[in-house]
Amino acid sequence: MHNEGNNPSWDVNRGCMDPLVNVRESREEIIVTADLPCVEKEDISLKIEENLLHLNAEMKKAFQFDNWGGFHREVKFNSFKKTIVLPSSVNPATAETSFKNSILRVRIKKKKGKKIEIE
């Protein structure tokens, strides 16, 4: 499972929140899921590099937690943003995605290693 660490799950300067994310790895592929409530499929942007997945999703309405904390209550959160470090190198061209009931699912094939003959 992806380690979320101890940092706050939001950034008041950018008005964005960390989505909840999970990463699973099998022999052939990596499966990333993310919970993106209040998001439409059209507003999700994904960029996959060698072993990074950049996720950006705009929410259909801004969230303001009127009765939470001090300065926080004045902040409007309107997107989810996260860069996920993948456990292996992947081939971005193989990515398959689905989005249903707020769950984004991304399956990406791992890069194949080169077979070495024993001399």
> Applying CB under 8 A, which residues contact another protein?
1, 4, 9, 17-20, 22, 35, 37-38, 63, 65, 100-103, 105
Residue 17: count of CB within 10 angstroms of its CB = 19
- Residue listed under structure tokens 């990333």: 32
CB of 106 vs another protein, minimal distance in Å = 13
The answer to whether the CB of 95 falls within 8 A of the CB of 107 is yes
What are 100's two structure tokens? 């249903």
Using the minimum distance from each CB to another protein, give the nearer residue, 35 or 43.
35
CB of 61 vs another protein, minimal distance in Å = 9
Using the minimum distance from each CB to another protein, give the nearer residue, 69 or 89.
69
Using the minimum distance from each CB to another protein, give the nearer residue, 1 or 116.
1
CB of 63 vs another protein, minimal distance in Å = 6
Q: Which of 97, 103, 99 is CA-nearest to residue 48?
A: 97
Distance of alpha carbon 30 from alpha carbon 39, whole angstroms: 23
